[in-house]
């Protein structure tokens, strides 16, 4: 027997001696005794890990970003009205797919029609602005109800999508496209 194997057996024996004196705590409802080893049940508190962040008007504020667009978003309890740059969402985001993107955080958390949203967006195009508003709504919603953070984070709405347009390079027509080649 080598020296390493004897050390491993000695450490396993030490572990066995340590665990033999510890009694496992089993739930009181299950008083059936068996030969199976007892399972330790950790106690989990239902308290949220973060505090609720609300301003004096009862709103939660967050900033959302996507491409070159930046959205400032305020969320408060209400009837489900979403106002973007002073206009209703149906007017500002005419495409239904963009409105679907904006409403995703509410549908995932089952809070459709429970919050009013006021957002101001600058920069980028409509698609980037819709993504920025979605990111801002997700951030603000988790600040208003911290218990929803896990649900929203699992969907990936709290992560800022860092993909942006690649810059134009000198000697090129665009970022990677070359000028038309001429042999003569």
The pLDDT-based confidence of 184 (bands split at 50, 70, 90) is confident
Which tokens is 60 given?
């939660």
141 domain residue, yes or no: yes
Average pLDDT over residues 30-55: 64
pLDDT tens string 130-168: 999 999 999 999 999 999 999 999 999 999 999 999 999
Domain membership of residue 135 as a residue range: 60-154
Whole-angstrom distance, CA of residue 70 vs CA of residue 122: 6
Q: What percent of the chain has pLDDT over 90?
A: 71
Question: Is residue 184 in some structural domain?
Answer: no
- Flag whether 143 is in a domain: yes
> Is there a domain that residue 77 lies in?
yes
Alpha carbons 120 and 72: distance in angstroms, whole number:
5
**Residue 5 in domain:** no
Which tops the pLDDT comparison, 21 or 90?
90
Q: Would residue 32 count as lying in a domain?
A: no
Do residues 122 and 68 lie in contact, with contact meaning Cβ atoms separated by under 8 Å? Answer: no
What tokens appear for 41 in the block? 């049940």
**CA separation (Å) from 112 to 24, 36, 109?**
45, 47, 8
Q: In total, how many domains does the chain have?
A: 1
Task: Output the domain CATH number for residue 94.
Answer: 3.30.230.10
Q: Tell whether 121 is covered by a domain.
A: yes
Q: Within a domain: residue 87?
A: yes
């Amino acid at each position: 027997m080598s020296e390493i194997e004897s050390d491993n057996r000695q450490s396993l024996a030490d572990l066995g001696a340590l665990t033999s004196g510890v009694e496992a705590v089993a739930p009181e409802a299950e008083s059936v005794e068996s030969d199976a080893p007892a399972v330790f049940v950790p106690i989990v508190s239902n308290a949220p890990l973060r505090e609720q962040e609300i301003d004096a008007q009862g709103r939660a504020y967050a900033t959302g970003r996507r491409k070159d667009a930046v959205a400032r978003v305020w969320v408060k309890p209400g009837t489900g009205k979403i106002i973007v740059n002073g206009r209703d969402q149906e007017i500002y985001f005419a495409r239904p797919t963009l409105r679907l993107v904006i409403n995703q955080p509410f549908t995932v958390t089952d809070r459709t029609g429970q919050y009013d949203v006021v957002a101001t967006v600058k920069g980028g195009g409509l698609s980037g602005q819709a993504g920025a508003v979605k990111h801002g709504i997700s951030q603000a919603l988790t600040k208003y109800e911290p218990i929803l953070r896990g649900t929203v984070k699992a969907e990936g709405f709290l992560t800022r999508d860092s993909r942006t347009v690649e810059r134009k390079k000198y000697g090129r027509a665009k970022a990677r496209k070359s000028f038309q080649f001429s042999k003569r």
